[in-house]
Amino acid sequence: MIGFYVKTDLNGIPIRDKKNEFIPEHPTAGEIGAGDKVVYYTRGDHLIRGIFEVSENLREGDDRRAKDWTHGLIQFAIKPILKPISDVDFRNIIFSGKEDLDMFSHLDNLKKQWGMSLYRLNEIVLVYPKSEEQRFYIVGPETLRNDFNEKMESLTFQFLTNANCSFQSYEEIDKIFQESQKKKPKL
């Protein structure tokens, strides 16, 4: 099985569309269907787990769904097409010395910039007009603050560190909003 995160409200409750279906956190998840091929890649450790084919979208109420997945609420049954004996480090493919993958052909320095093609916020930081006023925020539950801090220490996210990117919890954003509502508008 493979699962994808869904959009949630500030309380972590999944948001649904007009048809009462979960709204995927990333729109691409909504385009997946039976017969599609998926390269199963895990971001944190850069490992390719295999290539799979989507066999079925598992709807709510289907007994085959993973009941313990609290975030991966959009779920698909998948079957292996190519499962390596051991996981493949994606960086070994990138730096093999052979021809560059098409997805990285636009980069000036593959070894330093490859992660940015996988992490879109880094791309935005690189192309967005620079300014002292520029700020980037990652908003999420307080429980993810330590994960954010660990990621920001890695070379992959160096550009975000230099661009004043910071983490704001839902509670902090709510407090800012509540304070803004107390201010009287200028006449």
Q: For the chain, which residues make up each domain, given as ranges?
A: 2-89, 99-182
**CA 179 – CA 183 distance, rounded (Å):** 7
**CA 186 – CA 85 distance, rounded (Å):** 66
**CA 111 – CA 100 distance, rounded (Å):** 11
Query: Is 55 in contact with 79 (CB distance < 8 Å)?
Result: yes
Buried b (16+ CB within 10 A) or exposed e, 52-65: bebeeebeeeeeeb
Contacts for 137 with CB less than 8 Å, ≥ 6 apart = 165, 166, 167, 168
Between CA 103 and CA 49, with CA 45 as vertex, the angle to 5 degrees is 75
Tokens 């292996």 sit at which residue?
A: 80
Query: What tens digit of pLDDT does each residue of 125-169 get?
Result: 655 556 666 677 888 888 888 888 887 877 667 667 777 788 888
Query: Is 31 in contact with 49 (CB distance < 8 Å)?
Result: no
Task: Please tell me which residue, 50 or 129, carries the higher pLDDT value.
Answer: 50
Query: What are residue 43's phi and psi, to 5 degrees?
Result: -65, -50
Token pair belonging to 96 = 């093999």
Task: Enumerate the β-bridge partners of residue 51.
Answer: 39, 82
Percent of the chain with pLDDT over 90: 7
Token pair belonging to 173 = 């954003």
Task: Enumerate the β-bridge partners of residue 77.
Answer: 56
Query: What tens digit of pLDDT does each residue of 72-85 get?
Result: 788 999 998 888 88
Does the pLDDT at position 21 exceed 70?
A: yes
Q: pTM to 2 decimals?
A: 0.49
